[in-house]
A and B are shown apart, each in its own frame.
Chain A
Amino acid sequence: MSWADLSTIAPLAAAIIVAGLVIVTDIALPGKRVPALVVAFIGLAVVAILTIVVGAKPETAFGGAYKVDDLTTYLDLLFVAIIAVTLMFAPDYLEARDLPLPEFAAVLIFALSGAMLISASADLLVLFLGLELMVLPGYLLAGFAKRDALSTEGAIKYFLLGSFSSAIFLFGLAFIWGLTGTTRIDGVATALKAIASGTDPLSPGLAMGLAFLTTGVAFKIAAVPFHYWTPDAYQGSPTPVTGYLSVVPKVGAFALILRLFVGALGPISADWDIVIVLLAAATMTLGNLVALTQDSVKRMLAYSSIAHTGYMLIGLAAWSSPNSRIEGLEGLLFYGAAYAAMNLGAFGVIAALQRRTGISSQLESFAGLGRREPFLAILMTLFLLSLTGIPPTVGFFAKAYIILAAVQAGGPAGILAVIAVLNAAAAAFYYLRVVVYMFMRDPKGEPAQIVIGRLMRTGLVITAVLTVVLGLVPGLLLTLVGNAARALTL
C-alpha cells in the first residue's frame, strides 16, 4: 500500500469515515437529530468533491484490484446524490414513528461505501466485497421499523433470499476463478478471449459458472423469475427505505453487471446475451402485468420497479451487439439516473403523505389528493408521467434512448424494443390510475392537512426539477454518461 493507493481510495475512505462520524456525533450528542444530519450532509458533500477530484484522471490502486475511471465517477456521484435525497426524505417519516435518525443515516452511508466499492472494483473478490457491503445495510434498513411486523417480515425475506443469492453468486465466481486462474477482471477477460476465439462450445464448468453468476445478479436486480422478495421487502420497509431499496441496490447491482458481464465476461457475450434478452422480456412483461392488479401504491411501484429493471436490461442486451456497444451502455447508465430521480421522487411523495402515521399507501388514500394537497399531487403526477415515459420528462428520454439502442442492435434486441413500448402502454394504465384517484375522485372524509418539512420539500423539489430538466436538456447528463460508457469499453 502506498500513498498513491490511499489517495485513489480517498472518496471511499471518506464515505466510511463519514458514517463513523455520524455515529460518533450521535454518541456525543444523544437524542439530538440535527447535528448528525448536518454531519451526514457535509460528509456527503465532501465525498462528492473527492470523487470529482480523484475521478479527474483514471487510476488503479492496490496492484490493480481497485480502479477509478469515468464510470466509477459517474456511478459514485449518482449514489451520493441518491443517498442525500433519501436522507432528505427520512427525517419527517422517522420522527413521526419515533425511529432514530442518526443510526439510519450511518447505516445508509455504510451502504453507500459498498456501492462505491462495486463501481471501482477491478477484481472479482473486491466486487463481491462491495456487493455484500452494499446489501447488508439494506437488510438492516428494511427492518428498521422493528416493531412493525410487516417491516420485519420483509427484512427477513430480503435477508434470506439476499444471502442465498450472494452464495450462488460467489459459487459462480469460484467457477470463473477455477477456469481462468485469476480474479482480476482484465485477466479473466483475457483468458476468456482465448476460450471464445476457439470453436469449441462452452465448457461445462464455464457454463455452470455463467449460470450461477446470472442467477445471482438476477436476484439482486430483481429480474423475473428471481423477483419474489421484492414486493414484500418494498411494501414492508419504511417508505423512505423503500425508495432507497428500489434504487441503490438495483443501480449498484447494475454497476456490478457492468463490471462483471461487460468487463470480465464480455468476450463470451455471445453465450449469455440471449439469456439477457429473455430475462428482459420476462421481467418487464411480468412486472407490468402484476403491477396492473395492485391496490397498494407502494406494492404497485415495487412491481413497476421490476418492470424498469427489464427496460434497463435492454441496454445490456443492446450492448452485446457490435452495432450498439456504446449506445447500449449509455442508455443503461442514463436510465439508471433517470429511474433514480423519478422513482425516489414517487416514494418521496408517499413518505410525505405518511408523515402522519396510520396512512396506508392504498389507492383509496390518494383519493382527492389533488384538492387536499395540490403540491404533492402535482409532483406525484409528474413522477408518474415520467415513469410512464411521457415527454418532456426524463423518463421519456431514458426510454427513447434504450429503445434507440435496441433498434440499433437489431435482431432479438430489436424485438425487445417493440415489447418495451407495448409494456410502456400497459404501464400507463396503472400509473395513471393513481392520477385518476388523485384528481378525479373525491376523498372519503376530511383528512387533516399534512405538514411537509422543509428538508422533505427540498428533496421533492430537487427530484422534480431533475425529472423535468434532464428531460428537456438531456445533453447535461449525456456527456457524463458517454464518458462513463467509453471508459468501460476501452
Chain B
Amino acid sequence: MSIANVPLISLITFVPFIGALVVACLPRSQPGAIKITALIFALVSFGLSLLLLIGFNPTNPAFQYQEVHDWIPVFGIQYKVGVDGLSVLLVVLTTTLSWISILASFRPIKERLKEYMISFLILEVGLIGVFVALDLFLFYIFWEVVLVPMYLIIGIWGGSNRIYATIKFVLYTLVGSLLMLVAILATGFSYQSTTGSWVGAFDFVNLQHFAATTGFASNLQIFAFLAFFLAFAIKVPMFPFHTWLPDAHVEAPTAGSVMLAAILLKLGAYGFIRFALPLFPAAAKAFGPPIIGLSLIAIIYGAIVALVQPDWKKLIAYSSVTHMGFVTLGIFIFQEQGLQGAILQMVNHGLITGGLFLLVGVMYERTHDRTIAKFGGLAGRVPVYTATFGFFVFASVGLPGLSGFVGEFLVLLGSFAYNPAVAAIATSCMILAAGYLLFMFQRIFTGDLSDFLRGLGNHLTDISPIEMLTVVPLATMIVLFGLFPGLILHTIQGTVSNVLTELNHVAAIHVFFWQ
C-alpha cells in the first residue's frame, strides 16, 4: 500500500475514537495514564491532519483525499469523505484546539476524569467528521454526534447553573438540526424524483453538480434553505437565535468553552458555505438581504451587550456574537473579498477567542471568580499573564499585523462594494469592540491590586509553563496569519471561487415583495 492509498481522512477522524476506547479500558485509579493517553491520541490526530495539510493541493478546486464506500445502498447513502481548502483548514483548527483543550484540562478536571476525556475525544470525532463529510446523511450524523459529548461536558463538569445551560443548548440545537434532517431528506428525494434513481441522492458532489445544472425546484429551495438556515443560524449563533450561547459559554468548563467558541460556532458558518449556498443558490440570494440585516444587528447588539457584562466569560461570549456576525455578513454579501474575509475570520475567531477563554480559565483556576468588578491591578502581580492576555485582546480588537485585522478588513472591503451603508454600520461597531475589550482590560489589569486579589495571597501565581504551552501555538498562528494572510487565502481560493461562480449564475427567487 502506497502512501496515496492510506485513508488519511478516516484515520484523522477515528484516531480520537480509538483513543476514547483505550481510555475507557484504563483503570480509574491512574489519572496520569488517562491524561497522557488522551493527549497522545489527540496529538496523533493532529499530526496526521498536518500531513493532510501538507499534501493538500490548493490549486485543485476539487475535493481531495476522497474516500467512498457504500453504506446504505438502497438510498444511495455513502460513507464519503474528502476535503477542500475550507475543510482542511477547519480540520487542522479542530485537531489543534483539541489537544490544546485536553492539555488545558489536566489541572482543572479532577472529578470523573475518564468520562471527561472520553467525551472530549468523541467530540473531536464528531467535529472532524462534520468538516470532512461529503454525504448529506453522513454530515447530519456527525452533526448530531457533536451534540451528546458537548451536552455531557457542560452538564457534568460545568458551573453552578450547568443543567439549565446544557438543556437549553441541546434543545436549541435539536430544533434546528431536526428540521435540517427533514430538509436533507426532502433534497435527496427531490433529486430522486427528478432523476429516477437514489444513486448519489445524498452525495454532496453530485448534488452540487445537479444544483448547478438542473437546479432544485423553487419551493424545495425555499423550504430547504430555511431549514438549513435555522440549523446553522442557531449554531453560529446569529441574532435572534443566540440566547443559548452566553449560558452555555459561562457554564461550560474552560476547555468546553474553548471548543464551543473555536469550533462549534464554526459548524454553522461552515454549513452555510458548504451546503446552503451551493445547493440552494437561488433561495440563498433571495434571503441574502434579510440575513445581512440580522448580521448587522448581531454585530452591534453583541458589542453593546458585551460592554455591560459583569462577568469575564460572558463578555467574551458576547464578543463571539459580534465576531460571528462579521462571518455571516461576509458570507451573505456574495462577494469575493467578503467570503475570503469570512473564512479568515472563522479561523481567526477560533484562535483568538479560544486563546481568550483559555486565559480566563487560567485565572479562574487561581481565583474561582470571574466577576470583573472584583479584579484590578493584575498587571503588577502577574506580568507574563497580563502580556499574554493583552496580546489576545489586541488581536481580538483587530490590531493590524495580527490576524483578526485581516479578516474584518476583508469583510468590510467586501461589504463596501456591496453597499457603503452596510460597511459604515459594521465599521462603527469595530470602535465599540475596541471599547468593550480595552475597557475590560483596563478594569482587570491596571490600577491597584483589588482587595479580593490581595486576599488570595500566594495563590495568585503567574501563568505556568504548561498553561503557556496551551496558548503559545495559538499566538504564533495569530501572528503568522496576520503577517501572511495569503497562506489561508491561497488554500481557500478553490472553495471561494466554486461557491461564488455558482451563485453568480442564478437569479434570486422572488420571495419578498420588493424583489
Contact = CB atoms under 8 A, between A and B. Distances in A.
The binding surface of chain B is classed by DSSP as helix
Interface in B128-155: 137, 140-141, 144-145, 147-148, 151-152, 155
A404 B189 contact: yes
Contacts, number: 78
Interface string A417-445: 11001101100110011011001100000
A158 B167 CA distance: 36
B72 interface: yes
Interface stretch (B179-187, B397-405, B440-448): B179-187
A407 B189 contact: yes
Contacts of A429: 167, 171
A440 B145 contact: no
A46 to B, nearest CB: 32
Interface in B161-185: 162-163, 166-167, 170-171, 174-175, 178-179, 181-182, 185
Nearest to A478: B74
A391 interface: yes
A124 interface: no
B181 A432 contact: no
A391 B73 CA distance: 18
Given A391-B144, A404-B189, A421 B171 contact: no
Contact of A439 (B72, B75, B156): B156
Given A390-B148, A440-B162, A421 B167 contact: no
Given A425-B174, A439-B155, A440-B162, A392 B141 contact: yes
Contacts of B181: 400, 403, 421
B35 to A, nearest CB: 20
Contacts of B73: 475
Contact of B185 (A371, A407, A424): A407
Contact of A436 (B140, B155, B174): B155
B171 A390 contact: no
A389 B140 CA distance: 12
Interface in B289-322: none
A474 B141 CA distance: 14
Interface size class, chain A: 20 to 34
A392 B17 CA distance: 14
A346 B170 CA distance: 21
Given A403-B185, A425-B178, A478-B74, A392 B145 contact: yes
B74 A482 contact: yes
Interface in A436-472: 436, 439-440
A93 interface: no
Contacts of B140: 391
Contacts of A400: 137, 181, 185
A371 B111 CA distance: 11
A353 interface: no
A224 interface: no
Interface in A368-394: 370-371, 385, 389-392
Nearest to A482: B74
Contacts of B186: 407
Given A400-B181, A425-B174, A425-B175, A439 B152 contact: yes
B144 A418 contact: no
Interface string B212-246: 00000000000000000000000000000000000
Interface string A295-319: 0000000000000000000000000
B230 to A, nearest CB: 11
A396 interface: yes
Contacts of A385: 148
A472 to B, nearest CB: 9
Kindly name the residue among B163, B171, B178, B188 whose own CB sees the greatest number of chain A CB atoms within 10 A: B178
A390 B147 contact: yes
B182 A421 contact: yes
Nearest to B140: A391
A307 B55 CA distance: 50
B182 A418 contact: yes
B189 A432 contact: no
A478 B148 CA distance: 27
14 contacts: A391-B141, A392-B141, A403-B181, A407-B186, A417-B182, A422-B175, A422-B179, A424-B174, A425-B171, A428-B170, A428-B171, A432-B170, A440-B163, A478-B72
Closest 3 CB pairs of A and B: A421-B178, A391-B141, A425-B174
